[in-house]
Structure 1
Amino acid sequence: MPTHQSQLTLNDTILSTVAFQATEEVLFRQIEEEAVLLHVTNGNYYSLNETSLPFWEALQNQQPLTTAIDQITDSYAVERDQVLADLQTFLTHLLSYNLITQIA
């Protein structure tokens, strides 16, 4: 069961100043255009689809999330506002499942 976290609200300041990283309890495995996360402590698996992979890769490499946003808007016919909304939901879920932590 996820812990309840406050809603994360993204803006350009947060995207350029706040960093996240995977917790030590998370294992990652990419299989073609999808990936699986395993939370070692609780044994739960989480799947990532091809559009969430750029977000995860940016988190893993401690790159600005704007890089992933640009990659997704360049690769898919989607508006930046939609990508930001999806990223906000993605980060909120990862935080609530204790898969990532905020480091800045």
Structure 2
Amino acid sequence: MKTYEMITLEDIVTQVEGNVCSDMDGEKVMLSIKNGNYYNLGETGGVIWDLMEKPMKVNEIIKKMKAIYEVNDQDCELQVRSFLENLISEGLIEKNL
């Protein structure tokens, strides 16, 4: 059963081990060895995924995304947090203390 976990701006997130990622036509695709599921993170999700190669604060991810894409603060925060919450529910990333 998937669990829902809220992400705050101060949380530090990082990738979990056991995922095989590849770039396909500008989009990031991934296979989770742990759960056997395939994911298409898309172009924007792939950028976020790459940022989490090492632990990073959520507010830093948002700051970097705003520098890359033309998006207002509220929309960027909402979309990034929602994406990260989905990744946590799938067991693909974790929050670090």
TM-score category (smaller protein): 0.7 to 0.9
CA gap of 1:36–1:51, structure 2 versus 1, over 3 A, is same
Q: Aligned residue for 2:45?
A: 52
C-alpha separation in 2, matches of 1:65 and 1:48: 18
Count residues in correspondence: 97
Q: Is 1:20 paired with 2:13?
A: yes
How much identity, in percent, do the aligned residues show?
23
Q: Which runs of 5+ in 1 are unaligned?
A: none
**Paired amino acid for 1:10:** T
Q: Aligned residue for 2:80?
A: 87
Q: Which moved more, 1:36-45 or 1:92-101?
A: 36-45
Q: Which runs of 5+ in 2 are unaligned?
A: none
Aligned-residue offset at 1:102 = 1.3
Q: Aligned residue for 1:75?
A: 68
Aligned-residue offset at 1:48 = 1.3
Q: Which moved more, 1:57-66 or 1:77-86?
A: 57-66
Secondary structure, in 3 states, of the residue corresponding to 1:50? Answer: helix
Aligned-residue offset at 1:46 = 0.7
Aligned-residue offset at 1:30 = 2.2
Q: Aligned residue for 1:5?
A: 4
Aligned-residue offset at 1:65 = 3.7
Q: 1 or 2, which has the higher strand percentage?
A: 2
The answer (yes or no) to whether the contact 1:55–1:65 under 8 Å persists in 2 is no
**Paired amino acid for 1:82:** D
